[in-house]
């Protein structure tokens, strides 16, 4: 499929946001981004793309956006029972993407179990398997060579040691965590790991389960700061994936 000329506004917007989120990327990364913008109308602001481990990865929402723009006719998903064991949280799915009403369909398979998913999504293996199947079928249907983030998890998580659940230390009553105030500690983490403060704030609100961060209790904020620091140290790429999931909501509210 030939790439159409991308609008300069789209290219510049993607380039600017990529540099803001991931810093100074290699020249080849920006060239690839330009090509992806031209071919698939990729939008980083919509959460379509993630930069991980020196490569671009498309997201599940990004694939769905592409399918929508290409006027995908239907997506059919069904479990593959012979490879599934619900009692063990082990699932396999078959997805078929129909580009047109008369298309024979493009098939993709996905599997998930506690052994190949992140601890962050334990208990949601069925959904992960379904997502992986749909992603593979969509990539096949539309000739998308980029691996999706959800597929990456299958190999990456099995290669990484699982995080140990760490009991939080007692929190001092004066609102300090480890010496400096909670706010100072949070700012330090954001600077140290080059995180987007607005996305961190959105994640904090979600983590604390409140409408605004101001409504959260001191204990919840302190727990969030400890959680953020631990995750940033152990797996910054996975944390960036989590933060970037709030991009769409952030842009929509602008």
How is the chain split into domains, by residue range? 8-57, 71-141, 182-234
| Residue with the larger pLDDT of the pair 28 and 176 | 28
Mean pLDDT computed over 32-46:
92
Please tell me the predicted confidence (pLDDT) of residue 171.
37
Mean pLDDT computed over 73-98:
94
Average pLDDT, the chain: 80
Question: Is pLDDT above 70 for 159?
Answer: no
Please tell me the predicted confidence (pLDDT) of residue 109.
92
| Residue with the larger pLDDT of the pair 155 and 186 | 186
pLDDT category at 161 given cuts 50, 70, 90 is very low
The owner of tokens 């999706």 is 148
Please tell me the predicted confidence (pLDDT) of residue 79.
94
Please tell me the predicted confidence (pLDDT) of residue 6.
54
pTM of the model: 0.58
pLDDT category at 152 given cuts 50, 70, 90 is low
pLDDT category at 198 given cuts 50, 70, 90 is confident
The Cα–Cα gap between 63 and 190 comes to 30
The Cα–Cα gap between 58 and 128 comes to 16
Please tell me the predicted confidence (pLDDT) of residue 1.
42
- Dihedral sign for Cα 196, 49, 253, 228, please: negative
Please tell me the predicted confidence (pLDDT) of residue 138.
95
**Edge-to-edge order in the sheet of strand 74-79:** 74-79, 91-98, 106-112
SS3 label, residue 221: helix
Q: By C-alpha distance, which of 103, 100, 102 is closest to 73?
A: 100
SS3 label, residue 134: helix
**Residue 48 and residue 61 in contact, taking contact as beta carbons nearer than 8 Å:** yes
Q: Does domain 71-141 have CATH number 3.30.160?
A: yes
Select, from the ranges 6-10, 127-131, 235-239, the one with the highest average predicted confidence (pLDDT): 127-131
The Cα–Cα gap between 198 and 186 comes to 12
Please tell me the predicted confidence (pLDDT) of residue 153.
53
């Amino acid at each position: 499929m030939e790439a159409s000329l991308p609008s300069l506004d789209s290219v510049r917007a993607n380039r600017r946001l990529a540099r803001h989120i991931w810093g100074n990327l290699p020249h080849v990364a920006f060239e690839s981004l330009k090509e992806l913008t031209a071919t698939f109308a990729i939008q980083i602001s919509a959460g379509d793309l993630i930069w991980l481990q020196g490569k671009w990865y498309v997201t599940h929402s990004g694939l769905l956006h592409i399918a929508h723009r290409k006027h995908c006719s239907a997506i059919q998903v069904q479990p593959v029972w012979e490879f599934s064991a619900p009692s063990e949280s082990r699932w396999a799915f078959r997805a078929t993407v129909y580009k047109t009403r008369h298309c024979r369909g493009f098939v993709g398979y996905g599997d998930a179990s506690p052994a190949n998913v992140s601890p962050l999504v334990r208990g949601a293996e069925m959904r992960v398997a379904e997502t992986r199947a749909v992603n593979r079928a969509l990539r096949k249907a539309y000739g998308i060579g980029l691996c999706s983030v959800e597929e990456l998890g299958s190999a990456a998580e099995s290669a990484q040691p699982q995080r140990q659940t760490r009991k939080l230390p007692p929190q001092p009553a004066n609102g300090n965590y480890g010496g400096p105030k909670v706010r100072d500690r949070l700012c330090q983490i954001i600077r140290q790991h080059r995180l987007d403060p607005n996305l961190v704030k959105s994640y904090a609100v979600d983590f604390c389960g409140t409408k605004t961060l101001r409504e959260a209790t001191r204990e919840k904020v302190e727990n969030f700061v400890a959680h953020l620091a631990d995750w940033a140290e152990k797996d910054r790429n996975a944390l960036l994936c989590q933060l970037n999931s709030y991009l769409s909501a952030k842009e929509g509210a602008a």
